[in-house]
Structure formats: structure tokens, C-alpha cells
Structure 1
Amino acid sequence: MEDEGKSRALALIAGCEDPDKLKRMAANARRLGEAEIERAASLRLYTVLPSADPGTLEHDVWRSIHALEGALKDERGRTTLLGRTRQKIARDGERRTVADLVRGKPSDGFRMLMDRGMVDHTFEAVALRHQALFDDEVVARLRAAGADGRP
């Protein structure tokens, strides 16, 4: 794709709020071998899917869940929901779920997001962006692990 067309596509993606359009754009870009456009459409999709207000812990948690489910779908070729994580959120809420999961050893999902350059979509990054909501133990553990909280 020529640079002008790519720039137009990326600008359209950046302003798009429609999940169905973003899914179509990502699928079309994948079909055409346009990895940069596919990635941009997918990342934008993960941002517009959550129903919570942007900037909130809840929004960031669901953005992370959608990103990991998208990565799993790409890897496995079929939709894979994070059933246990979704159940834990329904039972304990987003804050407690994140705190409990970042206290444990790094998960396969964490590594998958890191390998795909989506560090800002990890629960660790979410916890550091919203560190005022977490106890000192969680924040100290993340800092000791070398996390800096920047996307």
C-alpha cells in the first residue's frame, strides 16, 4: 500500500469508534498483508470495546482482556475467552482480580502480550497506571520486578 493510502487508513482507524468497522478493517488488512494497519485496527478495537469510561481501571482491565483474547484468537485460529478471569472479575471485581493476578508468577498471557509488544495491555501496567487503587505490597512487587508503569 502506498504511503498516502496507509496514512489515510491509519487516520481513519485512529478516529473510529465502531467495533464492527474496526474488525472489518483488521480482517481486510490481514488479507492484504498490511500488518501495520491490522495492528492499528486491532489495538483501536481493544480500546473501544470496553463499556467502562476510558481512563478508569475498569476500562483498562477490559482493554487488557480483549487484547489477550485477540492474541489468543490469532494464535489458535478460534475465539478463546478468558473464562476464569471473567468469572473472577464477576465474583471479586476488577481491582481485586488485577491485584491477585499480578502477585503471582508471570502468566502465559503476560508473556504473550509482552512478545507482541503490548506491554501497556498487561495487568501489571494497568496496576501501575492506577497504583493509587492498589496496596503498597502490589506496587512494591511490580517495581521490584522492574516494571516502570509506562505504556
Structure 2
Amino acid sequence: MADTAVTKALLIIEKCADAKKLRQIAANARERGQISVAHAADLRLYEVLPSEKPGTLEHDVWKSIHALEDTLTKERGTTTRLGRTRPKIARVGELETIKDLIMRKEPSEGFFKLLERQMPELTFEAVALRHPNQFEAAVVEAAEERLRAAGISL
């Protein structure tokens, strides 16, 4: 794809709010070896999938969940859902789920999987840092430390 075609594709992706179209753009880009375009389409897809209001903690949490589930589904070739995270959110809500995962001694499996897939901004730690007023200071500090320890600066 020529640079102008890539630029045009990125502009289309930026404005697109149709999940089906974004999936198709990503698939076409992968077929053509345009990984950066596919990645941009995927990230935009994760932005539009959550039904929660954009900019909210809940939206960011579901954006992260959709991202991890989608990448695992593509890699494994079978639908993958976060079988512990989703039920926990149903029981205690997004805020408590994130807090509990961040305050664990060891990072969650999802944390490492998102880092491996070059999506550190979608970790629950990064989500907490975007919404620090909703968490206790200890949770924000733990999120900062975990990201710092992983060599991530957001």
C-alpha cells in the first residue's frame, strides 16, 4: 500500500463507528501485510464496541476487555472470553474488579498479554491512571509502580 493509501485508510478508520466495517478493514489490511493499518482499525474497533459512555471508567474497562478477548480470539481461532473477569464485574462492578486486580501482589495474566501485544494503554493499570479520582491513592500508586516496573511510561 502506498503512503497515500495508508494515510487515506487511517483517516477512514478514525471516522468510522461501524464495528463490522472496522473488522473488514483490519482483515483486508492484514491480508495485504499492512499491520499498522490493521492495528489502527483494531484499536478503533475496541473504542466503538463498548456500550458505555466514552470517557468513563466503565467504557475504558470494556474497551480493554474487548481488546484482549479479540486478540486472543484471533490468535486461537476460537471465541475467547475472559471467564473470570466478566463474572467478577457482574458481581462487584468495574471499579472493584480493577482495584482488586491492581492490588494483587502479582500482575494479572491480562496485564502481560496486553503488553505482549503492544497495548499497554489498555491495561487496567493504565485505565486506573486515566481515572485517578475514582481510586484510592494506594491503587493509583500501585498501578504506576506496576507499569514503571514493566518499563512502561504513559
Deviation at residue 75 of structure 1 after TM alignment: 2.3
Alpha-carbon distance between aligned partners in 1 of 2:34 and 2:152, rounded to the nearest angstrom: 30
Query: Could you tell me which residue of structure 1 aligns to residue 109 of structure 2?
Result: 108
Paired residue total:
151
Q: Is the 8 A contact 1:88 1:97 kept in 2?
A: yes
Amino acid at match of 1:124: E
Q: Is residue 13–residue 22 contact of structure 1 (8 Å, CA) maintained in 2?
A: yes
Give the superposed CA RMSD.
Answer: 1.7
TM-score (norm 1): 0.93
Cα gap change, 1:13 to 1:113, in 2 (>3 Å): same
Q: Please report the TM-score for the alignment, with normalisation by the length of structure 2.
A: 0.91
Distance in 2 of aligned mates of 1:76 and 1:19: 21
For 1:59 and 1:5, the matched residues in 2 are separated by 31
- Separation (CA, whole Å) in 1 of partners of 2:75 and 2:31: 16
- Report the Cα offset of residue 83 of structure 1: 2.0
Question: Structure 1: which amino acid aligns with 2:63?
Answer: R
SS in 1 for 2:54: coil
Deviates more, 1:69-78 or 1:15-24: 69-78
Correspondence 1:133-144 to 2 at 5 A:
133-144=134-145
Structure 2: any 5+ residue segments left out of the alignment? none
Query: Deviation at 1:108?
Result: 2.0
SS of the residue corresponding to residue 83 of structure 1 reads coil
2:128 aligns with 127
CA–CA separation in structure 2 for the residues paired with 1:117 and 1:32: 21
**How many Å separate the matches in 1 of 2:123 and 2:15?**
24
